[in-house]
Amino acid sequence: MKQVQQGVRSAAEAPAQMNRVLGLPNLVLFGMVYMVPLTIFSTYGIVTEITGGRLPVAYAITLVAMLFTARSYGLMSQAFPVGGSAYVYTQRSFGSNIGFMAGWALLLDYLFLPMINYLLLGIYLNEFFPAIPPWAFMLAGMVLVTVLNIVGIVSVARTNIVIIGFQFLFIILFVGFSIAYLRGQATVDLFAPLRGSGEAGGFASLAAGAAILCLSFLGFDSITTFAEEARNPKRDLPRAILLTTLICGFLFVALAYLSHLVYPSHEFANADSASIDVVFTAGGQFLSIFFTAGFICGAMGSALVSQSSVSRILYSMGRDGVLPRRVFGYLHPRFKTPTFVIIIVSLISLTALFASLEMVSAMISFGALVAFSAVNLAVIKYFFLAHRQRGMAATVNYLVLPLIGLALTIWLWTSLSALSLVIGLAWIGLGLVYLAYVTGGFKRKAPMLDLAD
């Protein structure tokens, strides 16, 4: 194969191109399905206890922090409208070796997010059907998700509409039942969710809660992985990223506020299942069953989109040659999807049968924050330093705002557990070993696709 200067490989070597069928609404749906609108209820009890009943305020803080990083993703997606997300952005800004390491870290987020969804799927369905073991539901979910992803991105997009529709139907019912419940109360303190109890330590407790809630926003970055299937990526990707972040962020704040009005206490017998107490208070057994169905639906949707996203990141790395091209750089001639990669991701997801939620969550947290940091730095390097964008507006856009995003991301790093750091650093070490092998002991640069051809 032709070797281009400085380890860059020609785009002509790519065997095929993906179908450009996704418009702005589809891209927003992908991001929202990945983020799961009902994800607020997964950490509701934990963060409510930490913040002393000020969950909506903590969500507002996290939304502000995430908007800076979302903006950086939007800028880089305009500069490089190709699949690969933080891997490509860092590669093009800092070189192929650093780009590979950013992509390697990002894989922690994307590879293991399907696992956590399969785990939740097995746990929740087993509660309703205890005679069937959790692993049976997990395997069934993996097979369905794999088939839909292989058939093509259009099938995934259509499934996303059903999944989001079902979750929004629950949200509408929850809002309706909650308003009816609150009307039956003698008095309602509308400011209680904002003021809280004041017993949890002021802003420090809000910051601790906000750091945990950053996991709720994982998903806006997944939109960038579908750049090569977007009809107008330079225009639609930045819009979809910001729209997804804002829509889900405001939805999280509103649902948290309404939930605290319905169930004003911030003390629970079991914080992990506190959301069930809230839903049951608002709508009884009927709404509780509907909530469980919606949560399962959301887990399936998130698994579907996360497998699609990681498949395209691995495809980008395979097309570049840093992973075996015949396997990872292969597109199915009919479906135009990275079939082999999708199957490999499914096989990796089988480890969910043996993994714990704590371990998988630790992996996801580390990988996501590495990617967020890398993309904020990439904006500074590419626009402000390499292309020397100057002037007051350029300084704010390409230096000040990305630095704020980086600082907020580093702040979130301080909340990572020791387990997250140990697993994450071990993964980084494994990536360095593989990179040393690919580059002959760092004597040459890792290969990368020549986007200019």
Q: How many CA atoms lie within 13 A of 362 on its CB side?
A: 16
As given in the structure block, the two tokens for residue 97 are: 């070796």
pTM (2 decimals)?
A: 0.76
pLDDT digit string, tens, across residues 73-129: 989 888 887 766 777 888 888 888 888 888 788 777 777 778 878 887 887 777 678
d(CA 66, CA 375): 12
* Helix, strand, coil distribution of the chain in percent, nearest 5: 75, 0, 20
Lowest model confidence (mean pLDDT) among 24-38, 247-261, 368-382: 24-38
- For residue range 302-318, list pLDDT tens digits in order: 787 778 777 877 887 78
Give a three-class secondary structure readout of 203-244. Answer: HHHHHHHHHHHHHHHCCHHHHHHHHHHECCHHHHHHHHHHHH
Per-residue model confidence (pLDDT) at position 357: 64
Decide which of 31 and 9 is more confident: 31
| Spatial separation of the C-alpha atoms in residues 340 and 329, rounded to whole Å | 9
pLDDT at 14: 44
Q: Cα separation of 371 and 362, whole Å? A: 15
- Residue 317: the pLDDT is 74
Which of 397, 167, 410 lies closest to 295 in space, CA to CA?
Answer: 167
Q: Which amino acid, one-letter code, is at 172?
A: I
10, 4 contact by CB (below 8 A): yes
Distance from the first to the final alpha carbon of the chain: 15
d(CA 57, CA 274): 18
Percentage of the chain exceeding pLDDT 70: 88
The pLDDT, as a whole number, for residue 452 is 40
| Of the candidate ranges 81-95, 170-184, 245-259, 383-397, the one whose mean pLDDT is the lowest | 81-95
Question: Which 8-state DSSP code applies to residue 15?
Answer: -
Residue 187 has pLDDT above 50, yes or no: yes
Rounded Cα distance between 372 and 42, Å, is 23
For the stretch 338-365, pLDDT in tens is: 888 888 888 888 877 777 666 676 677 7
For residue 176 the two structure tokens come to 């309706």
What 3 state SS string does 354-386 have? CCCHHHHHHHHHHHHHHHHHHHHHHHHHHHHHH
Please report, as a single letter, which amino acid is at residue 421: L
